[in-house]
């Protein structure tokens, strides 16, 4: 399992590559050139595309990095929150639909099997997706856009599993 955090020109994205070669891209950042460059450095030359794209729906996400991405890296599945406020994310969703990408609305409890024992579980919050990447006994928490108090509450209640790694989206959180 390989998890890569990428600075994609003013924002962050995470690329997950499973042991079986499946890929998931979380967020896109504001720059199509930055995202294309970051993916080009990390994906094999003849890669067939991205298996899953997750638009997080966080208030700071603008999705501009997704512009023309499906032309370079065909996207098999996009998971999109019900509420996306950014015009750039709405435009990206329309482009994904037009390209034939299967688009699903994110729902709490949804799970994505990445293969080789890796899975990504979703929890939908008012301010974005909270993702848990599991591989064997390892857990990585990716609370993209979620309020830190909400994360603490849900961890304490057991709604979110304990994690060994915390990956903060974008530029992290202000205390």
Identify the pLDDT of residue 60.
65
Tokens 């961890």 belong to residue:
155
Residue among 103, 118, 128, 8 at smallest CA distance from 52: 103
Instruction: Quote the DSSP letter at residue 71.
Output: H
Identify the pLDDT of residue 123.
86
Identify the pLDDT of residue 175.
40
Task: Using alpha carbons, list the distances in angstroms from residue 142 to 22, 78, 134, 163.
Answer: 19, 17, 11, 10
pTM, to two decimals: 0.88
Identify the pLDDT of residue 1.
93
Q: What is the pLDDT of residues 34-78, one digit of tens each?
A: 888 889 888 887 777 899 999 887 766 678 888 888 888 899 999
For the segment 148-172, the average pLDDT, to the nearest whole number, is: 76
Does position 4 have pLDDT exceeding 80, yes or no?
yes
Residues in the chain: 175
Q: What is the pLDDT of residues 97-145, one digit of tens each?
A: 999 999 999 998 999 999 999 999 998 877 778 889 999 999 998 887 6
């Amino acid at each position: 399992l390989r998890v890569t955090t990428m600075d994609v020109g003013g924002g962050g994205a995470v690329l997950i590559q499973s042991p079986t070669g499946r890929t998931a891209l979380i967020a896109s950042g504001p720059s199509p050139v930055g995202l294309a460059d970051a993916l080009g450095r990390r994906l094999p030359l003849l890669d067939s595309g991205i298996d899953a794209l997750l638009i997080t729906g966080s208030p700071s996400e603008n999705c501009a990095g997704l512009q023309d991405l499906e032309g370079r890296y065909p996207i098999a599945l996009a998971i999109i929150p019900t509420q996306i406020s950014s015009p750039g994310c709405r435009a990206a969703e329309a482009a994904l639909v037009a390209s034939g990408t299967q688009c699903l609305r994110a729902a709490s409890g949804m799970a994505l099997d990445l293969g080789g024992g890796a899975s990504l579980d979703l929890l939908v919050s008012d301010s974005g997706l909270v993702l848990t990447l599991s591989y064997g006994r390892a857990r990585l928490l990716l609370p993209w856009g979620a309020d830190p108090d909400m994360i603490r509450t849900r961890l304490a209640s057991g709604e979110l599993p304990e994690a060994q790694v915390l990956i903060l989206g974008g530029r992290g959180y202000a205390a």
